[in-house]
Copies of this chain bind each other. A is one copy, B any other.
Amino acid sequence: MARAEETNDQLCAAYPVRGGDGPSSYAVNSVYQRGAVAAAKEFISKAIEEKLDMEILLSSKTFRIADLGCAVGPNSFFSAENIIEAVQLKYKSQGLNSQTLEFQVFFNDITANDFNKLFRSLPSNRQYYAAGVPGSFYGRLFPDASINLFHSAFAIPWMSQVPKAVMDRNGPAWNKGRIFYSDASDDVVSAYEAQNAEDMERFLHARAQEIVSGGLMVFFIPGRPDGTPHSHTLPNVIYQILGSCLMDLARKGVVDEEKVDSFNIPNYLMSSKELESAVERNGCFSIERRENLDNFFAHDTVYKNPQLLASQIRASLEGLFKQQFGDEILDELFELYGKKLEEQQSMVESGKAVVFLVVLRRTAN
């Protein structure tokens, strides 16, 4: 009997994406992510057209899709629609009546996600049955062989937890004066690497059981370009600057320095090699397609607008920061952050970024 895994869910639950409808809420600020999803619509369509087995389509009247790390929409709805459209097209192209096919979409995120908001904003004209699934995607979420297609956009870099070694005050990976791995000591970097490897192992192991044989997984994963150091990778640069703001506040006495030392953002950007070797180690999936979206971040105007960037980062991290430092420092912190991003804009703009677009197929077991 499968037992829902809660450990990591509880850990992850500490870091919900910000719900609600306020000006710095995720839904308002996720426009830049939708840009990527729109750009990647063609990738989804082609993946399904070329890689989806007709056998899977014909084996059941219901096609089940799961989106992992859905947040509160609306990108997740947009992806679901793209996938369904492509599957229907494929079905029709075989001379079949796509009216007979039904879709069920499972929206997954950690338990602390604002599912109420997600549910309220489900498109009223949706052509699928919707369900919400709370829990960490590093554990089992679905019954055996019950999902036809997994999708995840921008969620996989979120780790199941801050590596334990980094939380050990007396160990070599104690991350004093920093909140992230990319500008930290080799010990910290190693701890993050190891955590990512372990997480990917658990992620792929769970999915391998949940997906039907021959089923596809379509992932959009922000990563680290080959040959680019951690500290020069664009999203990392942005976190590093945020860490330096916290240290400024610590020096001013606004924030307890101990709290900065013990705080770490559980996010890790894989290289293409790390991604490939995780898939190889798992052994249940073939890489059917891999593209790099090199210039996505570079073309995103948000990186040319420090104030907007600060408010987007606030939207995605506010829950995490509130828990560690309290509500009251947030305005000062993110005001300073906006200023620093402006001062260091050339550093931001020189940061290298890549989004891996991958299609994996479950091999026969």
**CA distance in complex: A133, B106 (Å):** 9
List B contacts of A99 (CB < 8 A): 1
Stretch at the interface among A139-147, A157-165, A282-290, A313-321: A139-147
**CA distance in complex: A52, B61 (Å):** 24
Stretch at the interface among A116-124, A331-339, A350-358: A116-124
Stretch at the interface among A2-10, A176-184, A185-193, A236-244: A2-10
Instruction: List residues 75-107 of chain A with CB under 8 A from any CB of chain B.
Output: 98-99, 101-104, 106
Q: Please give me the residue from chain B that is nearest to A114 by CB atom.
A: B116
Partner of A144, one of B4, B61, B114, B126: B61
**CA distance in complex: A2, B128 (Å):** 7
Interface assignment of A130: CB less than 8 Å from any CB of chain B: yes
Contact indicator A143/B62 (Cβ below 8 Å): yes
List B contacts of A145 (CB < 8 A): 61
Contact indicator A4/B61 (Cβ below 8 Å): no
Contact indicator B61/A129 (Cβ below 8 Å): no
Contact indicator A125/B62 (Cβ below 8 Å): no
List B contacts of A122 (CB < 8 A): 4, 111, 134
Number of copies: 2
Interface assignment of A74: CB less than 8 Å from any CB of chain B: no
Interface assignment of A277: CB less than 8 Å from any CB of chain B: no
Given A101-B1, A120-B111, A122-B134, A140:B144 Cβ within 8 A: no
Distance in Å: Cβ of A93 to nearest Cβ of chain B: 17
Distance in Å: Cβ of A17 to nearest Cβ of chain B: 13
Contact indicator B134/A119 (Cβ below 8 Å): yes
Interface assignment of A295: CB less than 8 Å from any CB of chain B: no
Distance in Å: Cβ of A202 to nearest Cβ of chain B: 17
Given A131-B132, A144-B61, A146-B62, A126:B1 Cβ within 8 A: no
**CA distance in complex: A312, B131 (Å):** 30
List B contacts of A146 (CB < 8 A): 62, 104
Given A6-B124, A61-B143, A99-B1, A131:B119 Cβ within 8 A: no
Contact indicator B129/A131 (Cβ below 8 Å): no
Given A62-B144, A143-B61, A143-B104, A4:B115 Cβ within 8 A: no
**CA distance in complex: A135, B104 (Å):** 14
Partner of A141, one of B98, B112, B129: B129
Q: Please give me the residue from chain B that is nearest to A122 by CB atom.
A: B134
Given A104-B146, A143-B104, A4:B129 Cβ within 8 A: yes
Partner of A119, one of B104, B115, B130: B115
Interface assignment of A127: CB less than 8 Å from any CB of chain B: yes
Contact indicator A119/B125 (Cβ below 8 Å): no
Distance in Å: Cβ of A57 to nearest Cβ of chain B: 14
Given A61-B144, A104-B146, A143-B62, A3:B132 Cβ within 8 A: no
19 A-B Cβ contacts within 8 A?
A: A1-B98, A1-B127, A4-B128, A6-B124, A61-B143, A61-B145, A102-B143, A111-B120, A114-B116, A115-B115, A115-B119, A116-B116, A129-B141, A129-B143, A130-B133, A130-B134, A130-B135, A132-B132, A132-B133
Given A102-B144, A130-B133, 10 new contacts (CB under 8 A): A1-B101, A6-B124, A62-B144, A103-B143, A111-B120, A112-B120, A114-B116, A115-B116, A130-B135, A131-B131
